[in-house]
Amino acid sequence: MDLAPLVDAVASSRRMVVLTGAGMGLASGIPTFRGTDPDAVWAHDVMELGTRAYFERNPVGSWRWYRSRFANLGAAEPNAGHHALVALERWQRSRGRELLLVTQNIDGLHRRAGSEALVEVHGRSDRVRCPRRGCPHASPAGSLAAADFDWAAFDAAPGEGTLPRCPACGAAVRAHVLWFDEAYVDHRDYQFERAIRAFRAADLILYVGTSFAVGITAAALDAGGVQWTIDPGEAAAPVGVEVLRAAQEAALPALVAAVAIRVRGLGPEAE
């Protein structure tokens, strides 16, 4: 892996955006939902089950599916790539520069690793919300901690009677995630406008582990400018995006170390 051109780009960047996708979680044991890894078990039905239409038709089925997905996330820990992005953010800030991390992942691993300038543009697996417009726990700003509900009862006997319900209005709560038949602007927590502003202002956009299959990457690509992707696979990158063929959990720590040495002859702050 030839890091030098990407090191140059990062070292000279004043306003950088990093956009991460499912490839970020593979080293933490989280299967991708698209892509070619053999554990991408949901690829065939994610487009149907990951919708508001499905939740409205079958809230018990929707939650059974999400509970099986989220079970993988609870045991996952941030990997070397997550930690490297925290170091990169702190290091950029320490020299008066910006880094915004936009993630498509709902697993919370960037937050747990310590990233602060963070947009979780597809929502969060550790929160739920009320589906009923007008309820304080619903869009455009409401949500509730998933841990405050009795999931054991639902998991043991999934049904209408055990569905977690909104404490304000009694509606069955929904996952606090962006579904395929919904819009980024549906909830303030997605911070879509913040992401768009950052893409447009950025002098460098770095993609990590994304297949470029979702809407937020199209918005980033539209912004133009210097763009790189870190991708261990063989998929062609979109026009205008330079490629570093490497696993992110190796490339990101190496990048952080190399950039710090390049700029001031010092290593990044020890974590």
Residues taking part in catalysis = 122
Asked if 172 touches Zn ion (CB under 5 A), the answer is no
Asked if 163 touches Zn ion (CB under 5 A), the answer is no
Beta carbon of residue 52, minimum distance to Zn ion (angstroms, whole number): 16
- 105 within 8 A of 22, measured Cβ to Cβ: yes
The residue from 41, 60, 117, 169 that contacts Zn ion (CB under 5 A) is 169
Candidates 186, 8, 218; CA nearest to 102 is 218
Q: What span, in angstroms and rounded, lies between the C-alpha atoms of 244 and 81?
A: 15
Would you say 166 or 247 has its CB closer to Zn ion? Answer: 166
Would you say 33 or 179 has its CB closer to Zn ion? Answer: 179
Beta carbon of residue 141, minimum distance to Zn ion (angstroms, whole number): 13
Which residue stretch of 16-24, 107-115, 125-133, 254-262 sits at the interface with Zn ion (rule: CB under 5 A)? 125-133
Would you say 15 or 165 has its CB closer to Zn ion? Answer: 165
Which residue stretch of 107-115, 170-178, 195-203, 248-256 sits at the interface with Zn ion (rule: CB under 5 A)? 170-178
Asked if 130 touches Zn ion (CB under 5 A), the answer is yes
Beta carbon of residue 130, minimum distance to Zn ion (angstroms, whole number): 3
Asked if 119 touches Zn ion (CB under 5 A), the answer is no
Contacts from 89-94 at CB under 8 Å and sequence distance 24+?
Answer: 89/115, 89/116, 89/117, 90/268, 90/269, 91/256, 91/259, 91/260, 91/268, 91/269, 92/13, 92/16, 94/269
Count of residues near Zn ion by CB under 5 A:
8
Which residue stretch of 86-94, 105-113, 126-134, 263-271 sits at the interface with Zn ion (rule: CB under 5 A)? 126-134
The residue from 22, 84, 109, 166 that contacts Zn ion (CB under 5 A) is 166
Beta carbon of residue 214, minimum distance to Zn ion (angstroms, whole number): 28
Which residue stretch of 32-40, 97-105, 134-142, 201-209 sits at the interface with Zn ion (rule: CB under 5 A)? 134-142
Q: Which residue ranges make up the site for Zn ion (CB under 5 A)?
A: 130, 132, 135, 137, 166, 168-169, 171
